[in-house]
Amino acid sequence: MLHQLPLRRLRELYLQGDASPVDVARSALDHAERANPALNAFALIDREGALAGARQSEERWRRGAPLGPLDGMPLAIKEFAAVRGWPTRRGSAVTSDEPAAAHTVFVQRLADAGAVLLGKTRAPEFNWKGVTDSPAFGLTRNPWNPALTPGGSSGGCAAAVAAGIVRVSMGSDAGGSVRIPAAFTGTIGLKPTHGRIPLSPVPSAFSNIVHTGPIAAGMDELEAAYLAARGASPLDWTSCLGADGAADAPAGRPRIGLLSPRRWGPRCAAPVRAAMDEALAALRADGMDVLEIDYDIEAASRVGQDLYRLGCAAAVRAVAPDLRGRLDPGLTAFVRGVDDWPISRYHAICQQRDQHANELARLFGQVDLLMLPTVPLCAFEAGRDVPPDQPGDDWMSWNPYTPAFNAAQVPALSYPVWPAGGALPAGVQWVAPKYREDRLLALGRWLEARFPVRTAAELE
Active site residues: 78, 153, 177
* Residues 179 and 88 sit within 8 Å (Cβ to Cβ): no
The Cα 152–Cα 134 span in angstroms is: 11
How far is 285 from 369, CA to CA, in rounded Å? 18
| Residue 16 Cα distances to 20, 21, 23, 64, 113, angstroms | 10, 12, 15, 10, 20
Question: Strands (DSSP E) along 79-146, which ranges?
Answer: 116-121, 133-134, 138-139
The bridge status of strand 116-121 relative to strand 74-78 is parallel
β-bridge pairing 168-173 and 42-45: unpaired
User: What is the torsion angle, in degrees rounded to the nearest 10, for the CA atoms of residue 434, residue 438, residue 440 and residue 445?
Assistant: 180
Nearest CA among 280, 302, 283 for reference residue 373: 280
Q: Which amino acid would we find at residue 296?
A: D
In what helix (H) or strand (E) does residue 371 lie, and over which residues does it extend? strand 369-373
Q: Which residues of 86-122 are buried (b: 16+ CB within 10 A; e: fewer)?
A: bbbbbbbebbeeeebeebbbbbbbbbebbbbbbbbbb
All residues at 6 or more sequence positions from 60 whose CB lies less than 8 Å from its CB, including other chains: 66, 67, 71, 114
Round to the nearest angstrom and report the end-to-end CA distance of the chain: 11
* Distance, CA of 384 to CA of 158 (rounded, Å): 18
Q: Is residue 441 within 8 Å of residue 244, measured between CB atoms? A: no
The secondary structure of 146-197 as a DSSP string is TTB---SSSHHHHHHHHTTS-SEEEEEESSSTTHHHHHHHT-EEEE-STTSS
Do the Cβ atoms of 105 and 55 come closer than 8 Å?
no
